[in-house]
Structure 1
C-alpha cells in the first residue's frame, strides 16, 4: 500500500466541497530536530485569504519518505517537503501554511485537477510565499549573504528598461548596458570562493521547476530559504541578473557548472521576475513593450523547465498568463494523456494564428521515439543529447521571413494566418509503436485520441528542394568518441567542413548571389546567420574584417587557448579566440547546423538532421524559414477509397504531406523579401506558362529595376519559380 492509500485508509482526506474549497496545514511549533506535528484544516479560500502562507519547493523523489503526525495519524511525505516543514515552523507558535504534498489528495485525480486549476488563486491569496531551496550546502550562506547585500531596485530597473522596449534594438542595447558580475576574473581566493558559491546556489533544482513560474510570481511578498538563511526574492533575482552575461560566453573552468548548464536556471529566474514586473510594476513606470504575458509567449519556453508530470508543463504555465490569455490552453485534467494534451495545446495556438509556436516543434526538436505529429511542440524537457545536436536557431527581432505578423507576441489571435486542422484518412494514418506511448494513452478511450492522426494545413510562400548538405564537426569525430568541446582542436574541424562546402560552390564562387553579395560573402554570412557576437545584424564587411584572424587562430599550433579567452578587441597580436568564433557559436553552424544549398541556389543553414531532397520553405506568419521533409503515407489507397477520399473534407493538396524538421536560415530571404516579391509580381505556386511569362517580364523590365524599387538589391529573378502562396499539409 503506497502512502497516499495509507492516507485514505485513515480517512484523512474527505471530499472537498464548495466553490473554492481548500485545505491548509496548521504546523505546530517546535525546534528543527523535533518530530513534526500538524493539523489538516478544511476551509474555503475566501474565508482564509491573507491568513496563511503558501510554500514552494522541489517535489523530489518519492523514495525514502519520512513520517510526520497529521491529525494524530502517521503520514509519510517526501524528504524535501519534510525538511521544509522542519525548517519553516516557528519554535514558539503555530504557523498556518499551504503545501501541496499534504493539502491535496494526490491519489484523487479529480481533486488534484480541481486544486491545480485554482493554484494561482491559492498563491495570490496567501499573505506570503515561502520558497525552500533545500538544506545549506556548497557555501550557500556566502551566496545568501552576498545576495542580501545587493540593491535589487537597481537591477529590477535594468530589467524594466529592457522590457519597456519589447523586442527591439533599444531593448538589446539596454541589455548590453546591464551589470555583469564576471566582467573581470576574480583576483583573490575569497572572490573565487564566492563566485563558486554563487554559481552553485543558482544551479539548485528549484529554480528550473515549471511550477515555480506560477508559485513565485503570484504574491508580492515572496521569500527564499536555504537551510537557516533567508532572503527576499528580489535579492535572489538581483544575484541571477548580474550573473547573466551580456552576450554568449562561458564562465571560468573552475566553476562547478558551466554557463550552458546554468543558462536555463538563469532564464527561468528572469522569466519569473519579468512576470512579477508586469504584475507588480509601479504606477509611475511607463509601458512601451510587452505589457502582458500571453499563452503563446509563455509556452515557447516550456521545454526548458523541469516537471515530474509532463502535463504540468501546460497546467502550470497557463495561469502565468495575464488577463484571459490562458483561455486557449486546456483546463487541468489529469485523466488526459500528456500526448493528447500537447496536441490540443499546439492546435489551439496554430488554429488561432500563433504560428511562431512552430519554431519549438519539428523532428529536430523531438526525441527519436516521439509519436507526436511533427507540428506539435513537445513540452517535455529535452535531454542533453537532443539539446546538443539540435539547439534553437537564434530568432532575431528584425527577421520576418514569412511577413510581419500583426501581433507577434501572441496576445491576440491572427486568424489571417491560422492553420487548418484536418484528420488523416484511415489509409494514410501513421503506424504508432505502442511501446513508445504512455500507459495513460494506451488505456485512454476519449474521443480526442484521434488527434494523434491529425494534420494541419498552413500557407507556404516559398519552397525549394535541398540538393546539397554540408558537414558538421560531429561528422569528423569517430563513432563512439566524445562530443567535441568548444576549444581550438574541435574548432579546427570547422576548416574541413568549410573546404567541403567550398568544393561544392567552386564553380559559383566568382559569381553574385541574388541579394547582391558575392557568393563567397553570402556563404560566410550564412554560416553566422548574418549576426555578430552581440546579436546585431551584420553585412559582408563584418566577415571580411574578421575572417582571416579566425582562420589564423584555427591553424595556430597553440592548442591551449579556449573559448574562455575571447579576443574582445580582435587584435592580430592577441592569440586568444577571435571575435568571429563567437558569432559561429551563436549560429550553431558547423556544430549543430549544416550549410545547405537548394535547386534554385539558395544558401541555407539547416538542422543537422536535414538530408538531400528535404525542402527549404517559408511559411506565412513564421519569422524563420523551415525545413520540411516529404512524407509518404504507410499505405496506398485503392481506386475506390481514393475516390471517396477526394470527395471528403480530408482532401489533400497536390504537394502531398510533409513533416516539419525545424527552423532554418535562408540568406537574402530573412526580412520579408518573399512577401514583397509575391505582392509586387503576383507569383503563383503552380503557374501556367502564360502566368510565368508575365511574372518574368515584370521582373526583367528595365534591366530588373523592380529589385531596386523594392529595396532588395541584387536580382531575385532566379528564384521566382520557388515563390507563390500554396497550402502545405504537415503530419
Structure 2
C-alpha cells in the first residue's frame, strides 16, 4: 500500500525539478501568419468510380513555412496496402482554419491538421498519406456513410499510423528520451524474467490497476518528472475515433512536432513507470488521476483483442452484443463532435472481433447501421434496444447518466455525456462481475412498442424511498493545463522503496508533514485547494452517511433467523458502502478492512465535528490530519467504496438501507424486474408510466431473496 510518506517523496522530487532551469528552446513550429495566401478556388470532389475505392493524399515536398500543396488520387483499397501512412489526429476548433492547395483548387482545413501536415512534410520528396478530413468529402453524407465503415480496413492496410499529438513543447525532447530509457530497461528486465509484464491484469478503470513493483535506479532519475502529463493532457487521448485507429493499425507512431516514438515503446515505458511508481494513478489513497484513464482503457481493449487473436475460435465474450457494450462502456469517457460517433467509432472494432456483427439476419448480427441521416436520439435508442434484446438482460441500464437531451427516453444511454458517473452495479467496486442476481437469473423479455419511447418490463415493486442522505461525489485529479504546477498521483499497491535516505518511521513524519502543509500548500495553494476541498467534503459525506445509518436500525434481510445484533446493524451499513465487494469472497476479512479504514479516519472525524467553522475556512488542516494518520500506509478499503461514488445513501419505507442513484428523490420506487441483476429505481408519473432513475444496491436482496415471479406485472418505462 502507498502512504503519505511516499506522496511526500514525490512532492519533494517534483519541487526539486521545478527549481532547475529548462534548457529546451520550446516550440519551434514557426509563425503560421507567414504562410502565403492561396487561391480561394474551392476543390471539387469527384464521385468514386467503385465501392472499394478511397482517396490518398500525396503531400508535396517543401520547406517548413512554404504553403502546403498536395494531390488527391483515387485508388482501390486492396491495391494500396503498405503504400501510405494513415494520420490519427484531433480536428480541433474551427477557429484559425487555413487553406491548402489540393490539385487545381484549395480546401479549408483546421489548424491542428495544418500543423500536422507541416511537420509530416518532407523537404525533398513527396509523402503519401490518408487523412480523413481531406480524403473523404465531409459535406457529402452519402459518401461518409460509405467511406466511414471502410476506415478500419484503411488503418489496417496502412504502412503505419501516425498519431499526431500536437506541436513540439518545451518538455518534448526530454519526455521522448525518458520513454525510450524506461522502455529499454523494461525490455531488458522482461528478457531476464525479472519483471512481470503481461498487462492482461490492467482493467479500464484506474482504481483497480495492478502494480507489479520493481526497483531500479531509474526511479531516482525520473521521480518527480511529470512531463508525461504533457502527453497525457493531449486532446487526442479523449477522441472517440482514436481507439479504432490505434488498435487496428499494425504499426503506430506517436508524434509531437517532428519527434516520434513507437506506441509499443510508450506502452513499455508507461507500464514500467507505473511499476517503478514514478507515476502513481491514485493520490492519497483515493483521488483518481483521470489523465491515465484513456491510456488504461486503450490497454485493456488491446488485451481483449490480443486474446481473441491468440484463440481465434473462442471470441472473448462469445457475443457481438456483449462486446459492443464492453467497447461502449470502456470508451464512454471519450468525446466526439458528432454525438453519433460515440456509437459509430467502435463499430470497426466490433467488425474486427465479429465479422458478421453488422450482417442482418444472423445470430451475431446487430440491428445497428452507420447512417448519418439518422438523428442522434434514434441512433442511441436503437443501440439500447438492440443490446437489451440481444443480451436479454438489462446490463446497459448501468451506463445511463442523467440527460437533458430532448426526446431521449429515460432508459436510453446518452453516450455523448463523458463526465464521470456511478459505475454499473452489475460489477462490484473492484470491477468484477457480480455473482449474484436479484431476479433469480430470469431473462428480460423486454417489449418495445411502436411509439419509439416506451420499454415494457415484467416486475414488481418492493418499497419506496423515505429518506435520503447526500451524494458521495468522486474526487478526481484532472490536468488543468498549468505547466507551472506539478501534478502528482498515488497508487494502492506500493512497496517500501527508500529514496530519501530516511527510514519510513512515524517519528520522522511530523517535521516533513508540517513542511509539506506549509511549503507545498504555499507554493501550490490553488492546486492544493482543488485537492483538499473536495477531499474533505468527501470525508464529510462519509461521516454524514455513518450518522444517517445510525439514526435508525436497518431492517435489511439477514440470512440469520435470530434477532439482529449490533454488529449485524453495522454490517448492513458497511456492506452497503462497499456494495457487497469482498476481499477473496471473505466477509470477515473485508469487515476487518472496513474497521481499520474507519479507525484511520477517526482523527479527521473528530476535528471536523469539533472545529466545523475552522474546517470550512481551512480544509487543509483536516486533510493534514488524514495524511498524518496515513503516513505508514493508506487503507486498503478505499477502492472498495468505488461503487458508492456519485451515489447517495437512502432509507426505504420498510427500513432498508439502500445505495441509490444520485438523482433519486423521496417517493421514488424500488422495483425488481425480470432480467435485472440488481434492483432498479423508477419514478411513477401517475399515468401508469415510469421514468428510469438508476440502479440500486440493497444488502440482503441482491441474490433473489425478495424476487417473486408470481407478483410480476407490466412496468412501463419511458
- Normalised to the residue count of structure 1, the TM-score between the two structures is 0.70
1:337 is aligned, of 358, 375, 399, to 375
Q: Distance in 1 between matches of 2:71 and 2:120?
A: 16
Q: Distance in 2 between matches of 1:391 and 1:26?
A: 46
SS at match of 1:85: helix
Shift of 1:81: 1.0
What RMSD in Å do the two structures reach over aligned CA positions? 4.2
Query: Is 1:498 paired with 2:552?
Result: no
SS at match of 2:244: helix
Residue aligning to 1:162: 201
2:434 is aligned, of 372, 376, 399, to 399
Q: Is contact 1:533-1:582 (8 Å) kept?
A: no
User: What does residue range 141-220 of structure 1 map to in structure 2 within 5 Å?
Assistant: 141-149=173-181, 150=183, 158-162=197-201, 176-178=210-212, 191-192=223-224, 194=225, 196-220=226-250
Stretches of structure 1 lacking an aligned partner (at least 5 in a row): 1-5, 407-414, 425-450, 475-480, 634-655, 687-724
Shift of 1:112: 1.3
Q: Distance in 1 between matches of 2:330 and 2:714?
A: 28
Query: Is 1:306 paired with 2:335?
Result: yes
When residues 187 and 259 of structure 1 are mapped into structure 2, their CA distance, relative to the original with a 3 A threshold, is: farther
Shift of 1:529: 2.0
Per-residue CA deviations over 1:479-505 (Å, capped at 9, x if unaligned) read xx99983434651354344323322x1
Per-residue CA deviations over 1:51-97 (Å, capped at 9, x if unaligned) read 22211111111221122221132322111111111112223222211
When residues 248 and 533 of structure 1 are mapped into structure 2, their CA distance, relative to the original with a 3 A threshold, is: farther
Q: Is contact 2:91-2:113 (8 Å) kept?
A: yes
Residue aligning to 2:571: 521
SS at match of 1:111: helix
User: What does residue range 54-203 of structure 1 map to in structure 2 within 5 Å?
Assistant: 54-149=86-181, 150=183, 158-162=197-201, 176-178=210-212, 191-192=223-224, 194=225, 196-203=226-233
Shift of 1:520: 2.3
Residue aligning to 1:471: 470
SS at match of 1:320: helix
Query: Is 1:225 paired with 2:258?
Result: no
Per-residue CA deviations over 1:708-730 (Å, capped at 9, x if unaligned) read xxxxxxxxxxxxxxxxx444221
When residues 685 and 279 of structure 1 are mapped into structure 2, their CA distance, relative to the original with a 3 A threshold, is: closer
User: What does residue range 357-436 of structure 1 map to in structure 2 within 5 Å?
Assistant: 357-362=395-400, 365-383=401-419, 387=420, 395-396=427-428, 397-402=432-437, 416-424=443-451
Q: Distance in 2 between matches of 1:38 and 1:521?
A: 69
Q: Distance in 1 between matches of 2:366 and 2:623?
A: 43
Query: Is 1:587 paired with 2:638?
Result: no
Per-residue CA deviations over 1:262-302 (Å, capped at 9, x if unaligned) read 14323343245335524665x8x998965887212112234
Shift of 1:660: 1.3
Query: Is 1:631 paired with 2:685?
Result: yes
1:610 is aligned, of 660, 664, 683, to 664
Per-residue CA deviations over 1:383-412 (Å, capped at 9, x if unaligned) read 4xxx37x56558223524436999xxxxxx
When residues 175 and 13 of structure 1 are mapped into structure 2, their CA distance, relative to the original with a 3 A threshold, is: same
Q: Distance in 1 between matches of 2:293 and 2:406?
A: 23
Shift of 1:574: 5.0
Per-residue CA deviations over 1:232-254 (Å, capped at 9, x if unaligned) read 1112233444566999963489x
Q: Distance in 2 between matches of 1:398 and 1:391?
A: 12
Per-residue CA deviations over 1:120-156 (Å, capped at 9, x if unaligned) read 1111122221111111125122222222231577599
- The higher relative CO (CA closer than 8 Å, separation ≥ 6) is in 2
Q: Distance in 2 between matches of 1:351 and 1:286?
A: 25
Q: Is contact 1:657-1:730 (8 Å) kept?
A: yes
Residue aligning to 1:485: 533
2:302 is aligned, of 257, 269, 273, to 273
- Higher alpha-carbon deviation: 259-268 or 312-321: 259-268
Shift of 1:16: 1.2
When residues 422 and 512 of structure 1 are mapped into structure 2, their CA distance, relative to the original with a 3 A threshold, is: closer
Residue aligning to 2:366: 328
Residue aligning to 2:505: none
Q: Is contact 2:42-2:106 (8 Å) kept?
A: no
When residues 186 and 606 of structure 1 are mapped into structure 2, their CA distance, relative to the original with a 3 A threshold, is: farther
Query: Is 1:355 paired with 2:405?
Result: no
Shift of 1:28: 1.5
Shift of 1:610: 0.8
When residues 252 and 240 of structure 1 are mapped into structure 2, their CA distance, relative to the original with a 3 A threshold, is: farther
- Higher alpha-carbon deviation: 315-324 or 133-142: 133-142
Shift of 1:623: 3.4
Q: Distance in 1 between matches of 2:632 and 2:461?
A: 42
Q: Distance in 1 between matches of 2:319 and 2:556?
A: 45
When residues 8 and 400 of structure 1 are mapped into structure 2, their CA distance, relative to the original with a 3 A threshold, is: farther
When residues 566 and 673 of structure 1 are mapped into structure 2, their CA distance, relative to the original with a 3 A threshold, is: farther
SS at match of 1:101: helix
Equivalent pairs counted in the alignment come to 586
Shift of 1:173: 13
SS at match of 2:161: strand
